Structure 1
Amino acid sequence: MNFILYAVPFFVVLIVLELIVDRWRGVSNYRLADAINSLSTGVLSTTTGLLTKGVGLVTYAFALKHLAVIELSAESAWVWVFAFVLYDLCYYWLHRMGHERNILWAAHSVHHQSEDYNLSTALRQTSTGFLLSWIFYLPMAVLGVPLLVFVSVAALNLLYQFWVHTRHIPKLGWFEWFFVTPSNHRAHHAQNALYMDRNYGGVFIVWDRLFGTYQEEDDNDPAIFGVTTPLASWNPLWANMQFYAQLWNDARRAESLWDKLRIWFMRTGWRPADVAAKYPMAKPDLSQFRKFEVPLDGRQQLYVALQFGVYVALGSYLMNLADSLPTAALVLGWGAVAFGLFAQGAALENRPWAFRLELLRLALNLPLVWLAPLAGLWPASAVAWVGLLSYSLFSVIGLYCCRNRITRLAS
């Protein structure tokens, strides 16, 4: 059972409720561009996962078959409890190393880039974590945890982490001692020196207390969210590539071959001495912290929000039918989603070339109408033709209205 798929409607409802509570309390924890950017990385991560989930599943199944020292039964309730706790311990070390090693931070940093903190932040996920994360769960295979149990407790662990991404729930007394809560997870997402690299647990905070990485949220040092090298972008593709690009540039510039290799596996933030001297990177002063913002006309924001809804629908469609769609359809669907979200990111940043990119995106719907049935993405039908072409036509009209509005404001 795909717990995440069935949980999506509840995520939407809870985000709407949080927005209502925001309004009721007279606070503003959401910005449209930031929320769309967070949700875009989530959609991109989910659709990418449809193509890459085999990496983790195949390696786990192989280890379970060839390396398991015992064989546990999925029929036993105690096996499920054991697996749930063990998974969180493995997650703790993956999460901790994700903050402490360059190559792992390159993937995990996506989740921390938002300078807001709300339930949409929980859905802000990496698309490249599959490359190395599977290594940290191999102990579960060695200890004989069945694949079904592993997949299930992984989903439950992820679902638990959704509710802790809010600013509306205060400290929860004794619960803070044993479990991850909104309070101690707010500290985890902060870039303040006090909170840096703390509170890694997914469900249980006891791991942090045990291994010396716990930090209580301090009312005298309010959390400032985000990363110390700001993303300064609303583009989900760049969000996934930002730190990889920084590592690549530093490795390319390093004179020592040893430095070119080891930079990827050194502590997060480590740079070769010659590169750091020649290309210094100034960290922003948190006392002067300002959130990244790009002014956008209301019509532009509405246009992007509606277009984003189309890609949420397409992503949901792919998730629902993933098991029955051929690989070609998944690749085509992923390509359409990735390019569409890239175009929406450019629009949110008000790039000079965003208008032309949006026209190109809409024009590509013509070959998509022809390619999709061939790839098996959806059946060939007049309804599909009319629907997609009508969507493109109305989008062009909306884009024209936004364009005219911007031109009038500029004049």
Structure 2
Amino acid sequence: METYGKILLIAMPAFFILVLFEKFWGVWKGKDTVPLNDMISSLSSGITNVTKDVLGLSIVVISYDWLFSKFGLFQIEATWLVYVLAFFALDFAGYWTHRIAHEYNIFWNNHIIHHSSEEFNLACALRQSISSIVKIFAVFLIPAAILGVPPQVIAIVAPLHLFAQFWYHTRHIGRMGFLEKIIVTPSHHRVHHAINPEYLDKNYGQIFIFWDKWFGTYKEETPEIPAVYGVTRPVQTWNPIKINFMHLWLLIKDAWRAKKWSDKLKIWFMPLGWRPEDVAKKYPVNKIQDVYHFEKYNPSLTKGMLIWSFTQLIVLLLLLSYLFGNLADIGSPGIFYYGGFVFLTVYAFTELMDRNPNAWAWEVLKAVYAMYFVFTTGDWFGLNSFLPGSLFIFVGYIFVSVVLTIWFSLKKEDYQLAS
């Protein structure tokens, strides 16, 4: 927990700078692929994901340590060759978990957030799940466990493998010559994120593309078919917490409404998109019929509201950095209370971006939640002791946030399209 938090203290600003660089690069080149509202939503999703992971809010059904102890036939040293082997093992496991997430209803809920952006940029790489409470990833590492790859090697390689999947989420890098035959490139991954019928459910590889070629899921990007991004059932919200659970909620409703008991059970394990015939007929859902002619989600916002939403994001990143840098000092259960504030903040300001007239209520709830801890402890989880005078700044932020959110929520005017 603490080690991962310290890694993120370096990774978070690095990713943020790269996201901003892509934004400014696109503006300079006349090809801006990073709308501000989409970027804020994506980064907010990343915040919820890393918060969940650092706090350990998930259940590992089968751990790699357990597999290693039960199935390991060999005991090998952690040499550089073993690290390479572990990297390939992780990528093999990643291919199959990724593919399963796209092929079965029950697993799609854990992955929908990553595909929910109707843009394709570095920021959308950070749209990661908070709904993957139960993890089965280690099952696909049985070959590595049998070969005797030590658990500490997997623990080191796993974050590197994850972070190495960031760079190829961009439209500013074209085809990359001979590398197209070996690794996943931006061209390959543009195909994967596309909802064009020709591209749908292809290129599951995370680092190496040859898995797709070997297992029949490879598709090359072609200039004649420009990729269109998103999901075929558009999410229609900037709120990443809502997106994380909307597919699960649809499955629950469909299972409840289905007349046949067989449908109530099999809906969870059927191919992605399958719905009971009676339910689909009576309760249709919005689905894109023509990927080349549909309106992207873009509720009109004033520049002031966009600037304020971006400010909220920056403040939250600073507060999150304090949490990750002081996990041991804050301790338990304090870190979980702090995590609750992070989630409330994201929910409140993304509801405002959605133009929800009740967004102010979430903001007030966030303020009441924060002030409870301030008044009962005289500090914000040790922040004032860490940086004298910061408590007054924090309380001032909470006050300003409530006032501006209420003002933006209730103000009636013509809004301009976000850019």
TM value normalised by structure 1: 0.92
Contact 2:33 2:119 in 1 (8 A): yes
Distance in 2, matches of 1:196 and 1:400, equals: 42
Structure with the larger helix share:
1
Alpha carbons 2:263, 2:276 under 8 Å: kept: yes
Alignment equivalent of 1:90, drawn from 66, 90, 93: 93
Counterpart-to-counterpart distance in 1, 2:349 and 2:186: 30
Supply the AA of the counterpart residue of 1:334. Answer: G
Contact 1:369–1:388 (Cα < 8 Å) also in 2 = no
Deviations 1:58-84 (A, max 9, x none): 72222222332222322x111101000
Q: Shift in Å at residue 358 of structure 1?
A: 2.2
TM-score (norm 2): 0.90
Alpha-carbon separation, structure 2, partners of 1:400 and 1:257: 47
Q: Does the CA contact (< 8 Å) of 1:34 and 1:234 recur in 2? A: yes
Q: Given the alignment of the two structures, is residue 167 of structure 1 paired with residue 168 of structure 2, yes or no?
A: no
How far is 1:362 from its partner? 2.6
Classify 1:400/1:200 alpha carbon distance in 2 versus 1 (closer, same or farther; 3 Å): closer
Is 1:157 aligned with 2:198? no
Report the AA paired with residue 27 of structure 1: K
Which whole-Å CA distance do the structure 1 matches of 2:102 and 2:154 have between them?
Answer: 24
**Which residue, out of 132, 137, 150, partners 2:135?**
132
Distance 2:185 2:263 in 1: 40
In the TM superposition, what whole-angstrom CA distance separates every residue of 1:262-301 from its partner, at most 9, and x where no partner exists?
A: 2112211112232223223352121322210101111111
Counterpart for residue 293 of structure 2: 288
Which of residues 352, 363, 368 in structure 1 aligns to 2:373? 368
Task: Measure how far apart 1:222 and its partner are.
Answer: 0.4
Residue 65 (structure 1) aligned to one of 69, 80, 90:
69
Match of 1:328 in 2: 333
Shift of residue 130, structure 1, vs aligned partner: 4.4
Letter in 2 for 1:182: P
Listed as ranges, the gaps of 5+ residues in structure 1 are none
Provide the aligned length of Structure 1 versus Structure 2.
Answer: 407
SS of the equivalent of 1:145 reads coil
Q: Contact 2:347/2:362 (CA < 8 Å) preserved in 1?
A: no
Distance 1:136 1:113, change over 3 A: farther
Conservation of the 8 A alpha-carbon contact between 1:332 and 1:372: no
- For 1:116, the aligned partner's letter is E
- Residue 401 of structure 2 is aligned to residue 395 of structure 1: yes
Residues 179 and 168 (structure 1), Cα distance of their counterparts in 2 relative to 1, 3 Å cut: same
Q: Select which of 341, 349, 355 maps to 1:350.
A: 355
Change (3 A) 1:78 1:324: farther
Larger displacement relative to structure 2 (250-259 or 89-98): 250-259
Distance change >3 Å, CA 345–CA 79, structure 1 → 2: same
Q: CA deviation at 1:155?
A: 1.0
Which of 206, 209, 217 is matched with 1:205 structurally?
Answer: 209
- For each residue in 1:61-120, what CA deviation from the matched residue of structure 2 results, as whole angstroms up to 9, or x when unmatched? 22222332222322x111101000111011000000010011111111110000011110
Tell me the alpha carbon deviations over residues 330-378 of structure 1, each in whole angstroms, 9 at most, x when there is no partner: 211111011111101110011111133323323433113145679x933
In the alignment, the residues of structure 2 paired with residue 59 and residue 396 of structure 1 have an alpha-carbon distance, to the nearest angstrom, of 43
Q: Which 10-residue stretch deviates more, 220-229 or 365-374?
A: 365-374
Alpha-carbon shift at residue 397 of structure 1 (Å): 5.1
Partners of 1:340 and 1:176 in 2: how far apart?
A: 41
Q: CA RMSD in A?
A: 2.4
**% identical aligned pairs:** 36
Match in the other structure for 2:16:
12
Q: Is contact 1:165-1:185 (8 Å) kept?
A: yes
Give the letter for the 2:188 counterpart: N
